[in-house]
A and B are shown apart, each in its own frame.
Chain A
Amino acid sequence: MAKSKTKKPAKSKAASNSASNPSIDEMKELYREMLLIRRFEEKAGQLYGMGLIGGFCHLYIGQEAVVTGINSVQQKQDTVVTSYRDHAHMLACGMDPKGIMAELTGRVTGYSRGKGGSMHMFSKEENFFGGHGIVGASSSIGTGLGFAHKYKKDNGVAIAYGGDGASNQGQVAECYNMAALWDLPILYVIENNQYGMGTSVSRSSAGSLYKRGEGYGIPGEQVDGMDVFTVQAAARQALDYVRSGNGPYILEVMTYRYRGHSMSDPAKYRSKDEVNTFKNDRDPIAMIKGMMVDGGMAEDDIKVIDKEIKEIVAEAATFAQESPEPDAHELWTDVLVEVDA
Chain B
Amino acid sequence: MPTNILMPALSPTMTEGNLAKWLKSEGDTVEAGDVIAEIETDKATMEVEAVDEGVLGKILISEGTQAVAVNTPIAVLLEDGETANDIGEVDAAPAADIPCVPEVQDSDSVTQTSNDAEQHAGATIENRDILYAQGVIIEPPPFDEASFTDTEEVTVRVALRDAMAEEMRRDGDVYLMGEEVAEYNGAYKVSEGLLDEFGAKRVIDTPITEHGFAGLAVGSAMNGLKPIVEFMTWNFGMQAIDHIINSAGKTLYMAGGQLGCPIVFRGPNGAASRVGAQHSQCYASWYAHVPGLHVLAPWSAADAKGLMKAAIRDPNPVVFLENEMLYGEKFDVPTDEDFVIPIGRAKIERSGADVTIVAYSIMVGKALEAAKALEAEGIDAEVINLRTIRPLDRFTILESVKKTNRIVSVEESWPFSGIGAEIAALIGEHAFDYLDAPLARVCAKDVPLPYAANLEALALPQTEHIVNAAKKVCYAD
Complex contact B208–A169 (CB within 8 A): yes
CB distance from B435 to the nearest CB of A (A): 30
Does B380 belong to the interface (CB within 8 Å)?
no
Q: Is the interface of B mostly helix, strand, loop or mixed?
A: loop
Please measure, in the bound complex, the distance between the C-alpha atom of A169 and the C-alpha atom of B206, giving whole angstroms. Answer: 11
Contact between A117 and B451, CB atoms less than 8 A apart: yes
Contacts of A293 on B, CB cut-off 8 Å?
none
Q: Is B211 an interface residue (CB 8 A)?
A: yes
* A106 and B275 form a contact (CB under 8 A): no
Taken together as a complex, chains A and B put the C-alpha atoms of A103 and B276 apart, in Å, by: 12
CB atoms of A269 and B276 under 8 A apart: no
Task: Please pick, from A120, A198, A332, the residue contacting B180 in the complex, using a CB distance under 8 A.
Answer: A198
Q: Does A133 contact B (CB under 8 A)?
A: yes
Tell whether B331 is near chain A: CB-to-CB under 8 Å: no
8 Å CB interface, A127-167 against B? 132-136, 165-166
Interface bin, chain B: 35 or more
B451 closest partner in A (C-beta):
A117
- A56 CA to B277 CA in the complex, in Å? 12
Chain A residues with CB under 8 A of B184: 197-199, 269
Residues of B231-282 whose CB lies within 8 A of A: 235-236, 238-239, 272-279
B133 at the interface (CB under 8 A from A): no
Of residues B205, B209, B211, B212, which shows the largest number of chain A Cβ atoms within 10 Å of its Cβ? B209
Of B93-101, B285-293, B416-424, B452-460, the one contacting chain A is B452-460
Whether B207 pairs with A325 at a CB distance below 8 angstroms is no
> How far is the CB of A207 from the nearest CB of chain B, in Å?
12
A115 x B279 contact (CB < 8 A) = no
Stretch at the interface among B76-84, B118-126, B442-450: B442-450
- With both beta carbons as reference points, the residue of chain B lying nearest to A333 in the complex is identified as B447
Residue of B with least CB distance to A56? B275
Q: Which of A166, A168, A196, A331 contacts B455 (CB 8 A)?
A: A331
Q: List 19 A-B contacts (CB under 8 A).
A: A55-B451, A106-B452, A114-B450, A114-B451, A114-B452, A117-B275, A166-B208, A168-B207, A168-B209, A169-B239, A170-B209, A197-B187, A198-B184, A199-B205, A204-B205, A204-B208, A328-B458, A331-B458, A332-B445
* 4 pairs of A and B residues whose beta carbons are closest in the complex: A117-B451, A54-B274, A114-B452, A106-B452
List 19 additional contacts besides A115-B451, A328-B458; criterion CB under 8 Å: A55-B451, A106-B452, A106-B453, A106-B454, A107-B452, A112-B451, A134-B238, A134-B239, A134-B278, A165-B208, A169-B209, A170-B212, A198-B180, A198-B183, A198-B184, A204-B205, A325-B453, A328-B455, A331-B459
* A residues lining the B interface (CB < 8 Å): 54-56, 103, 106-108, 112, 114-120, 132-136, 165-166, 168-170, 196-199, 203-205, 269, 325-326, 328, 330-332, 335
